[in-house]
Amino acid sequence: MDMTVRPRRLRKSDTLRRMVRETRMDKSSLIYPLFVKEGSQVEEEIPSMEGQYRYSIDRLPFELERLLKAGVDKVMFFGIPDVKDEVGSQAYAENGIVQRALREARKQFPEMYLITDVCMCEYTSHGHCGVLCGHDVENDKTLELLAKTALSHVEAGADMVAPSDMMDGRVGAIRRLLDENGHKDTPILSYAVKYASAFYGPFREAAGSAPSFGDRKSYQMDFHNRREGIKEALLDVQEGADIIMVKPALSYLDVIREVKERIQLPVAAYSVSGEYAMVKAGAKLGYIDEEKIVCEMAVSTYRAGADIYLTYFAKELAKFMDEGRIG
């Protein structure tokens, strides 16, 4: 057979395949989501997320040490308060759960890069992501509380803040308040393209953040829409976001790709709780190979254009990278 072009030539050996690999990953791009809650000696497994835990502040250092040993030095904190109210006041309280977790982590692990989720849903008695006016979330009144929350996190030791609420204008409000208070160099990772997704179910159990009525479709995006995601990303770039996130990851690879092509900022993707839970359940039943699925999911996200990957499998992926099974 007379063929000049033979693509299989570059697949001949593992060494050659690695040399010409188009998508490359390393541990520096991984962020691990962490749930912190009130109490002491708490390290409770989340029923719908096998292998994931809620930690009290006194148990948090043990998990941070495990992460650092695995080579994962970036975490995102989600707080679970004991007391909730209509305006989510524990989100921006000086001694709120996330604020205290930040101080403890900063004191014990100065090398850890600390990011915080900025939202109201874990802190409000109604479970919505902002202040209510009747049964509607009041966008503009919520902005002040989100900005106060972000500032309180930075003052407690956060290196970066990540607003996930999907209120219009929240990146600009946070940027202004941080700048006014001397934090011009603190970056904002914006959940700019966040869809109203069924993949969030296990997280809402983990954080106790399910809405007590209705849903979040009036502020999170309709999953039918692609162009709207680009509009959201471009608006947040204009308002001062430093990194743009697409959430969830796996079902939105097309959106990740288009955001990557349209903006000149790093792109993050969040492999959410539902993705994690499905892999764990499928592996437990023997239907899938967990390691191979986890690696393929991660590579697909990076291949689509993500520069940063938030995942509950961060420790496992770091191990797989060290062992040369992915990367």
12 is catalytic: no
Q: What is the distance of C-alpha 8 from the center of its chain? A: 38
Q: Over 90: is that where the pLDDT of 327 sits?
A: no
pLDDT at 156: 98
238, HSE (Cβ side, Cα atoms, 13 Å): 8
pLDDT classification of 318: cutoffs 50, 70, 90: very high
Tokens matching residue 231: 């509009």
Nearest to 29 by CA among 291, 318, 320: 318
Q: Among the listed ranges 5-9, 269-273, 294-298, which one has the minimum average pLDDT value?
A: 5-9
pTM: 0.94
- 220-237 pLDDT tens trace: 999 999 999 999 999 999
247 is catalytic: yes
Tokens matching residue 177: 């308040």
pLDDT classification of 21: cutoffs 50, 70, 90: confident
Given the residues 27, 37, 194, 315, select the one marked as catalytic. 194
Helices (H) and strands (E) in the chain, counts: 11, 12
Given the residues 74, 84, 247, 260, select the one marked as catalytic. 247
- 184-222 pLDDT tens trace: 999 999 999 999 999 998 877 766 666 766 678 888 999
